[in-house]
Amino acid sequence: MMTRIDKTRGWAVTDPLKHSQALGGTMAFLGLNRSMPLLHGSQGCSAFAKALLTRHFREPIPLQTTALVQSTVVMGGEESLEVALETITTTLHPDIIGVLSTGLTEMSGDDSAAIVKSFSESRCGEDGPLVVFAATPDFSEGLERGWASAVEAVVSTVPEDGSTIPRQVNLLVGPSLTALDVEELHGIVKSFDLKPIALPNLSGSMDGHLTEDWSGLTTGGTTAVELKTIGRSEVTLAVGSSVFAAGSKLNNRFGIPALNYPRLTGLGAVDSFISDLSEISGIVVPGELMHWRRRLADAMLDTHFILGGVRVALALEPDLLLAISSLLDEMGAIVVAAVSPTSSPILDLIPCDEVKLGDLAELETRASEAGAELIIASSHARSIAQRLGAAHLRIGFPVFDRFGQQYQLTAGYRGTLDLLFSVANCLTSHDELRIHSGHVG
């Protein structure tokens, strides 16, 4: 049976679940090495985004603005964009500048793409940065779409032609994966004697590492050199539906076959990924991976008592909603409410009678009606969980009141195991609290 998608909404969005495209695009550009995302809009567009990203990642966030004011909007913001590109290039010498439009500049009709193109051309031959533009108006769609647009902009403009590089594999990842997830998947692919290039790669930039010197740019991520070669890979592995289109683009342009994985969370989902890798590489599954599979199976046995029958309400971005709700369903938990900020074809696959497109107020209503015992959502849902007396596992964006979020694995055998333990521990510690404060029964 296909999941019903409820798209009705009230007039006032209350406690938004949705995030802007520009924010999603910024996150994707943060996964490129020595890069500087640039929001073409008012200074608040980037200041707010920067503050929120800083709270989430607990990292300095390179992010600049074209700092439009009323008069520059009226006159056309193109000149401000040129000045910003020039200033960033000469003062910071980045390898990559990721330009993103905002609701303001999409509405005022700036031709940002043309400015970026002519700036890139004028810098051609010099040691200038790669400049990539993605249209990310915040009056349509949301975070996943913005991330996707940024990745698509990169694969459409940066890769160069050339002969196939043997055993090189593109690993395109969506925003549902944490920094350490990307590293985990990268390692898995590598263990099949393949040469993966992860795009974007937050595991090098937003993983929280202390470098020798302070830098105003990202200090890790996919490099410009790597990006130029992704058109010469043997195959593309796309993890998360939000990057399927980028895989298709690489296929159309360079004839690289793409394999799509809506999620890599859950035993069965990981199994097919590993089988494919074995087939692509011609290498038998490494012993270490087989051992992690055995550990995961054991973890499923250990935690199924706790997870079985638990009533869970989730509010997450579509790809993440699918990954987590499917795992819970496969563990015998009951997904009683699922809320997504934006539409996506994969919402049909969510194991819940109905998926609601909506905000966190919707989550509260539905979770309350369905008697949810566990809320899985961002830190913004903490007061909702409190009001409902439910356990709350912080996952998604933003998570600003827990440490180590980028080290929470969710993908692969090991990641699934890690996530299962997090869910189970969240429930047990919540129960202990309830018992101690006399709220049981």
Partner 1 sequence: MTLVKPIELFDEPACDHNRQKKVEDRIKGCPVPKPGATAGGCAFDGAMITLVPITDAAHLVHGPIACCANSWDARGSLSSGPSLNRHGFTTDLSETDLIFGGEAKLQSAILEIASKYSPAAIFVYSTCVTALIGEDIGSVCETAQEITGIPVIPVQVPGFLGSKSLGNRLAGDVLFNYVIGTSEPADLTPYDINLLGEYNIAGELWSVLPLFERLGIRVLSKVSGDSRYSEITWAHRARATMVVCSKALLGLARKLQESYGVPWFEGSFYGVSDMSQTLRSIAKLLGDPDLQRRTEELIVLEETKAAVRLSPYLDLLRGRRAVLYTGGVKSWSLVSALMDLGIEVAGIGIKKSTSEDLDRIRALVGEKSILIEQGTAAELLRIVNETESDILIAGGRNQYTALKSRVPFLDINQERHFAYAGYDGIVELAKRLHLAISSPIWGQVRAPAPWEKSDHQVNPSSDSSLTQIQLIADPE
Nearest CB to partner 1, comparing residues 86 and 353: 86
Binding span for partner 1 by CB under 8 A among 58-66, 166-174, 186-194, 346-354 = 58-66
Tell me if 55 contacts partner 1 by CB under 8 A.
yes
Distance (Å, whole) CA 209 – CA 202:
12
Three-state secondary-structure class, residue 356 = strand
Nearest CB to partner 1, comparing residues 231 and 396: 396
Nearest CB to partner 1, comparing residues 86 and 298: 86
Instruction: Quickly list H helices, 78-191.
Output: 78-92, 103-108, 112-122, 143-157, 179-190
From the list 54, 260, 368, 422, which residue makes contact with partner 1 (rule: CB under 8 A)?
54
From the list 383, 386, 428, 429, which residue makes contact with partner 1 (rule: CB under 8 A)?
383
Q: What is the DSSP letter of 410?
A: -
Q: How far, rounded to the nearest angstrom, does the alpha carbon of residue 230 sit from its chain's CA centroid? A: 20
Distance (Å, whole) CA 252 – CA 404:
39
Tell me if 132 contacts partner 1 by CB under 8 A.
no
Binding span for partner 1 by CB under 8 A among 83-91, 122-130, 300-308, 414-422 = 83-91
Token pair in block for residue 155: 């694969």
Considering the complex, what minimum distance in angstroms separates the CB of residue 111 from partner 1?
16
Nearest CB to partner 1, comparing residues 64 and 176: 64
Considering the complex, what minimum distance in angstroms separates the CB of residue 369 from partner 1?
16
Under 8 Å between Cβ of 324 and 314: yes
187 burial (CB, 10 Å; 0-12 / 13-18 / 19+) is middle
Tell me if 137 contacts partner 1 by CB under 8 A.
yes
From the list 5, 47, 259, 267, which residue makes contact with partner 1 (rule: CB under 8 A)?
47
Rounded (10°) angle between helices 318-330 and 412-436: 80
Tell me if 430 contacts partner 1 by CB under 8 A.
no
Tell me if 6 contacts partner 1 by CB under 8 A.
no
Which residues are paired to 131 by β-bridges? 97
Distance (Å, whole) CA 59 – CA 87:
23
Q: What is the DSSP letter of 260?
A: E
From the list 28, 30, 32, 38, which residue makes contact with partner 1 (rule: CB under 8 A)?
38
Three-state secondary-structure class, residue 236 = strand
Report the candidate in 279, 265, 376 with the shortest Cα–Cα distance to residue 331. Answer: 265
From the list 28, 30, 96, 104, which residue makes contact with partner 1 (rule: CB under 8 A)?
104
Binding span for partner 1 by CB under 8 A among 103-111, 123-131, 194-202, 302-310 = 103-111
Stretch 275-314: interaction string toward partner 1, x if CB under 8 A: ----------------------------------------
309 CB contacts (<8 Å, ≥6 apart)?
332, 333, 334
Under 8 Å between Cβ of 63 and 43: no
Planar angle of CA 101, 36, 256, nearest 5 degrees: 80
Token pair in block for residue 394: 């912080």
Half-sphere exposure of 393 (CA within 13 A, CB side): 26
Pairing state of beta strands 64-65 and 35-40? parallel
Binding span for partner 1 by CB under 8 A among 197-205, 208-216, 222-230, 293-301 = 208-216
The length of the chain is 441
Binding span for partner 1 by CB under 8 A among 38-46, 256-264, 329-337, 430-438 = 38-46
Binding span for partner 1 by CB under 8 A among 6-14, 117-125, 190-198, 249-257 = 6-14
Nearest CB to partner 1, comparing residues 386 and 429: 386
Nearest CB to partner 1, comparing residues 101 and 326: 101
Tell me if 26 contacts partner 1 by CB under 8 A.
no
Judged by CB under 8 A, how many residues of this single chain contact partner 1? 65
Token pair in block for residue 42: 């008012």
Under 8 Å between Cβ of 23 and 49: yes
From the list 68, 158, 393, 423, which residue makes contact with partner 1 (rule: CB under 8 A)?
68
Tell me if 107 contacts partner 1 by CB under 8 A.
yes
The residue ranges that bind partner 1 (CB under 8 A) are 10-16, 18-20, 22-23, 38, 41-45, 47-52, 54-55, 58-60, 64-71, 73-74, 80-81, 83-88, 91, 102-104, 107-108, 137-140, 142, 210-211, 213-214, 216, 380, 383
